[in-house]
Amino acid sequence: MNGAASKGRRIPPLRRHVFLLLSVFVLVTLCILWVFQIFLLKPMYASLKTHELKRVSARLVRSVDSPSLSSLSDKLAQSSGICVSVYEITGQTARLSVNSHIRASCILHNLASDSMMNRLYAGALSHGFYTERIRGNFLTGAAVDAKSEVPESIITSTMTENGDKKYLILLNAEIEPVGTTTDTLILQLSIISGILLLAAGITAVLVSGAISKPIAQMSREANKLALGSYDVHFDGGMSKETAELGEALNYAAKELSSIDTMQKDLMANISHDLRTPLTMISGYSEVMRDIPGEMTAENMQIIIDETERLTALVNDILDLSKLSGGSQTLQCTVLSLTNTVRHTLDRYQKLRTQEGYRITFDFDREAYIYADESKILQVIYNLVNNAINYTGEDKSVTIRQICDDGQCRIEVTDTGEGIPADQLPMIWDRYYKVKNYYRRAVTGTGLGLSIVKNILLLHGAKFGVSSTEGVGSTFWFSLPEISPDADKTSPHISP
Ligand code: ADP
């Protein structure tokens, strides 16, 4: 099955994307190489050569009247591979005063035509530094075809004056035959282009395979998950990102599966917990209606008690949905924690006297906190209720108030079977019930501790539980202790 995104329009596979991107990259690189190596090779070489001729010319101009001009010219000619001629111009005549030639084919040697000499002279006069590129047979003046290997030449002329003397400096350098080099480069680049495009194709297949294979596998598993099958495994493959995605999805699948199981359990529990009081209510009501003399206060009390149980259950569910939906705000005031605990314990008076429960509260002084009284009362009530439900045969439950170091801690301890260590972290999850517990809480829905957790989190309180199997459990929470005179008109705070 395909994902929703691919249903509307045709999305090309990852492999094609990677191949296209790599191909574009390879082509751009090759274009740059071709432009520089093939098309710009000759112009760049010529420009560098012209620059060098200009530098040599400037050096000769500076030393034109020096007696060592000839040796300087020889030296520069040798080091730069340039032919040099310096003419001394007097009136209409030009006398060759310095002549440094390193190639027999040098054009300066063979300035057969006066017209070229005149051109160079006129160019130097009008431009100061005159350049001319010559291709072909300068001796005969015959043009050559483009493919021939006749070297191209750069010739420059510079005019300088010293006193009443004028000098014409002529330089000549060959632009080396780059044609063969270019042909070799073209061949090499063609081969390299082929190899790189092939490599791009193979890399695209390998890279996209490495990325898309785990994604395709995870996509298949996700579709199964969407259909409600939790028996899935996301294999993230070899790369870090997809492996992390795989782990995250495996975790999500596991959580979804356990939430699903818990919700099914909850439905079973709630149905059971609702059915019991409902059966009692309808049973007693029918008896009271049909049998004379059964309209007694005891029977009425049973109906009232069962109705209260139902109400408590429905309230729990509503409270939790409000707390976890984030719509709950706290109405915080300065309150006596000690009194709140006492007040909660008053509700258990009947249990104490009629059923022999021993519920004790230890505290050394009255302590105050800043909290929402009804919510803290609910926390204490839920913890004490659990302790009573799960405590041992001795029916004893101990509540302690320990105030120290600015914190006030309430501990609720029972002497029951305790909770296995591996299940301790889960008991705060909604709908969670300790597995294989030998005894089921009378009104337990698996919501009480989740409500406690949400309320304490809203208050920013610390809380926890320690339990030893066969010995009992201690649930605790702690909040900052404050002075009873603290500002009692604090505004409402919301989470
Ligand atoms: P319930 O309404 O089922 O008690 P809670 O959220 O209050 O739901 O508790 C979750 C589970 O944690 C309980 O079902 C029980 O298995 C375990 N539990 C809670 N309090 C105690 C306790 N004092 N001793 C042993 N187990 C407890």
Instruction: Encode 171-187 in three state secondary structure.
Output: EEEEECCCHHHHHHHHH
Residue 475 main-chain phi, psi, to 5 deg: -100, 140
Measured between alpha carbons, how far is 125 from 122 in angstroms, rounded to an integer? 5
Q: Nearest-CA neighbor of 226 among 4, 465, 482, 461?
A: 4
Residues of the chain with pLDDT under 70: 1-9, 111-113, 136-151, 176-180, 269, 273, 324-325, 431, 435-445, 487-495
The reported pLDDT for the residue numbered 350 is 73
Nearest alpha-carbon partner for 389 in 350, 441, 427: 441
In the sheet that holds 358-362, the strands lie side by side as 358-362, 396-404, 407-414, 472-480, 462-468
Report which ligand 1 atom has the smallest distance to the Cα of 449: 6
Asked if 49 and 175 touch (Cβ cutoff 8 Å), the reply is yes
273 lines ligand 1 (CB under 6 A): no
CB 445 within 8 A of CB 313: yes
Mutational test site, ligand 1, from 379, 386, 391, 434, max ligand atoms within 8 Å of CB? 386
320-343 burial, b at 16+ Cβ within 10 Å, e below that, comes to beebeeeebebebbbbebbebbee
Radius of gyration (Cα) for the chain, nearest Å? 50
Residue 446 alpha carbon, nearest atom of ligand 1: 8
pLDDT at residue 113 in the model: 64
Distance 345 CA to ligand 1 centre (A): 19
Q: Which atom of ligand 1 is nearest to the CA of 382?
A: 7
According to the model, what pLDDT value does residue 249 have? 94
Q: What is the pLDDT of residue 472?
A: 95
Give the C-alpha distances (Å, rounded to integers) separating 494 from 90, 329, 451.
105, 4, 16
Q: Residue 338 and residue 97: Cα distance in Å, rounded?
A: 120
- Provide the CA 53 distance to its chain's centre, in angstroms: 57
**Closest alpha carbon to 104 in 57, 151, 70:** 151
Tracing tokens 């070297």 back to the chain, one arrives at 151
Instruction: Determine whether the shortest distance from the Cβ of 64 to ligand 1 is under 6 A.
Output: no
Contact 395, 478 (CB under 8 A): no
397 neighbors 414 (Cβ within 8 angstroms): yes
Is 383's C-beta closer than 6 angstroms to any atom of ligand 1? Answer: no
Whether the Cβ atoms of residue 286 and residue 303 lie closer than 8 Å to each other: no
How many CB atoms within 10 Å of residue 220? Answer: 13
CB-ligand 1 contact for 472 (6 Å cutoff): no
Distance 433 CA to ligand 1 centre (A): 6
Provide the pLDDT for residue 369: 96
Burial class (CB in 10 A: 0-12, 13-18, 19+), 246: buried
Identify the residue whose C-alpha is closest to ligand 1 atom 12: 427
Ligand 1 touching residue 414 (CB < 6 A): yes
Give Cα separations from 19 to 9, 32, 194, 392 (angstroms).
21, 20, 15, 70
DSSP summary character for residue 458: H
Q: Tokens for 169?
A: 């400096």
Which long-range contacts link 482-486 to residues 24+ away (Cβ below 8 Å)? 482/334, 482/368, 482/369, 482/370, 483/368, 484/334, 484/336, 484/366, 484/368, 486/334, 486/368, 486/370
* Alpha-carbon gap, residue 248 to 267, rounded angstroms: 28
pLDDT at residue 5, as a whole number:
47
Ligand 1 centroid, distance to 372 Cα (angstroms): 24
What does the pLDDT read at residue 137?
A: 52
Would you say the C-alpha torsion 119, 121, 122, 124 has a positive or negative sign?
positive
Give the per-residue pLDDT at 149: 54
The Å distance, Cα 445 to ligand 1 centre, comes to 9
Query: pTM score, two decimals?
Result: 0.49
Atom of ligand 1 nearest to the CA of 447: 6
DSSP assignment string, 133-183: EEES-TTT-----TTS-PPEEEEEEEEEEETTEEEEEEEEEEE---HHHHH
Q: Which two tokens stand for residue 306?
A: 């069962």
For residue 430, the ligand 1 atom closest to its alpha carbon is 6
Which tokens belong to 141? 């003046």
Q: Whose CA is nearest to atom 7 of ligand 1?
A: 448
Our answer on whether the CB atom of 451 is closer than 6 Å to any ligand 1 atom is: no
CA of 384 to the centre of ligand 1 (A): 11
Report which protein residue has its CA nearest ligand 1's atom 16: 434
- Distance between Cα 354 and ligand 1 center (Å): 24
Q: How far is the CA of 335 from the centre of ligand 1 (A)?
A: 28
CB of residue 452 inside a 6 A radius of ligand 1 = no
Residue 304: CA count within 13 A, CB half-sphere? 6
Q: For residue 360, what are the β-bridge partners?
A: 398
> How high is the pLDDT of residue 45?
81
Segment holding 99, helix H or strand E: strand 93-100
**What spacing in Å lies between the alpha carbon of 21 and ligand 1's midpoint?**
58
**390, 435, 463, best to mutate for ligand 1 pocket (most atoms within 8 Å of CB):** 390
Please indicate whether residue 419, judged by its CB atom, sits closer than 6 Å to ligand 1. yes
> What is the amino acid identity at position 24?
V
Whole-number Å distance, alpha carbon 446 to ligand 1 midpoint, is 7
Q: Per residue in 400-410, is it b (16+ CB within 10 Å) or e — as a string?
A: bbebeeeebbb
- Residue 148: its pLDDT value, please? 52
